[in-house]
Structure 1
Amino acid sequence: MEYLKLIGIVIIILGFALHFDTLAVVITAALATGLASGMSITHLLSLLGQGFMDNRMVSLFLITLPMIGVVERHGLKQAAVNGISKLKHLSPGKILNLYLAIREITCAFGIALSGQVQFIRPLINPMAQASASVKGALSPKKVDLIKGQSAAIDNIGNFYAQNLFIASSGVLLMSSTMKSLGHAVSPNEIALYSIPVALIAFVLTFYYNMRFDKKLQN
């Protein structure tokens, strides 16, 4: 009878193999495992609800997806394009450098941004394309280059500046891990030594974006 408690694994394997709805398969597996283990339906539902409440912050970013879709549908993207097209001296590289600075500063203050969803797709990428198209239409290759560069800038800003905030999850994890290994490293020290890394990343990326502008002109 002990093996019956593994029924949830069987349900998940079969459900995924048969391409059933993922959420339905997981919930069914959880219910089957709980019932097979002798839990009451009330206790089981209570555990599922508690698990959701404890981890609800993980899925909070999903709220931004419909919001971004709504504002795009009502002209946010076009408004950004129209605004940038009026600024003749603004280039894709300058826009991306400005966003990189914003990304690193917000990371330093612990402000979490879902950059790719909230900024890159609806704002930064269209703005960069609009500034590049002032002098003429863009080829499909150049459009793809701008898309890739815009996405990369968000990743660079987030990756190299995320440890500037002493209470970020990465900093706390490193501090606790080093302490468990017998090395007393405080979150303040990790954040302090992350400053040169963030500055070097900014300077190198700034130069790379300037080279990117020249590449688009060819």
Structure 2
Amino acid sequence: MNYWPLLGILLVVAGFALRLNPMLVVTVAALATGLLAGLDPLEVVATFGKAFNDNRIIAIVWIVLPVIGMLERFGLQQRAATLIRSMQKATTGKLLLLYLGYRQITAAIGLHSTAGQAQTVRPLVAPMALAAAEKEHGELDEKTAEEVKAMSAATDNVGLFFGEDIFFAIGSIVLIQATLATYGINLAPLQLAVWAIPTAILAFLIHGARLMLLDRRLRRSGK
């Protein structure tokens, strides 16, 4: 019997006693345990990865965010803004209306993570919307810039909220189904999803009108 791997427990106890960073203590203890058990470093790291993946500790978003950060550091926002400035007919309202349609359609088929506040709004959509506004309005004051950013974020929220209910395998549909079942109303998830389509269409029209009004305000203030 090999008792050396049990030293990992002592490392945990010692690390907590010294009030070191818990995550660092546990990581070092796990690495030490694997090495003392006779595993090579690659096997230890592979075991870590398998355990994290099997237990869903690391979500895909935590893998994507560092990539987005690197892209921003190397000029993603600036390139997006330059692209919009090169388009003659691009306006803030039209750009956000296009994004609203994309967000609703992808959410309706279950692709919720293909866009979002962190993934697309901050690094891409908001800078492009600001560039489109600056092209018509000139340099934006702080209030106008914040309004454009807020509308960019709101567009993502509206598209996701009213689009995801069309996808029948979503938690909200299951919750509605269960609630109705308690009152003796038995409906299939697909039936509920179908009735979410009119609401999604109205949300698109109403928010689309708000985006066109934003365009009009920007055009007036730019004259």
Give the TM bin, normalised by the shorter chain. 0.7 to 0.9
Identity percentage over the alignment? 34
Shift of the 72–172 alpha-carbon distance from structure 1 to 2, 3 Å rule, reads same
Question: Is the Cα contact below 8 Å between 2:68 and 2:119 reproduced in 1?
Answer: yes
Distance 2:55 2:192 in 1: 28
Over the aligned positions, Cα root-mean-square deviation in angstroms equals 2.5
Shift of the 118–163 alpha-carbon distance from structure 1 to 2, 3 Å rule, reads same
Shift of the 156–187 alpha-carbon distance from structure 1 to 2, 3 Å rule, reads same
Q: Residue by residue, what CA displacement relative to the aligned partner does 1:106-161 show, whole Å, maximum 9, x if unpaired?
A: 01110012510111000000001111111311111111111110011111111111
Q: Residue by residue, what CA displacement relative to the aligned partner does 1:156-201 show, whole Å, maximum 9, x if unpaired?
A: 1111111101112221232234334432111011111000000000
SS of aligned partner of 2:139: coil
Structure 2 match to 1:104 = 104
Count of aligned pairs between the two proteins: 175
Structure 2 match to 1:119 = 120
Distance 1:50 1:180 in 2: 39
Structure 1 match to 2:177 = 175
Question: Is the Cα contact below 8 Å between 2:112 and 2:164 reproduced in 1?
Answer: no
Shift of the 87–189 alpha-carbon distance from structure 1 to 2, 3 Å rule, reads same
5+ unaligned residues in a row in structure 1: which ranges? 1-19, 28-48
Question: Is the Cα contact below 8 Å between 1:88 and 1:131 reproduced in 2?
Answer: no
Shift of the 52–82 alpha-carbon distance from structure 1 to 2, 3 Å rule, reads closer
5+ unaligned residues in a row in structure 2: which ranges? 1-18, 27-49
Question: Is the Cα contact below 8 Å between 1:107 and 1:161 reproduced in 2?
Answer: yes
Q: Following superposition of structure 1 onto structure 2, how do residues 135-146 of structure 1 map, counting pairs within 5 Å?
A: 135=136, 136-146=138-148
User: What's the TM-score, normalizing by structure 2?
Assistant: 0.71
User: What's the TM-score, normalizing by structure 1?
Assistant: 0.72
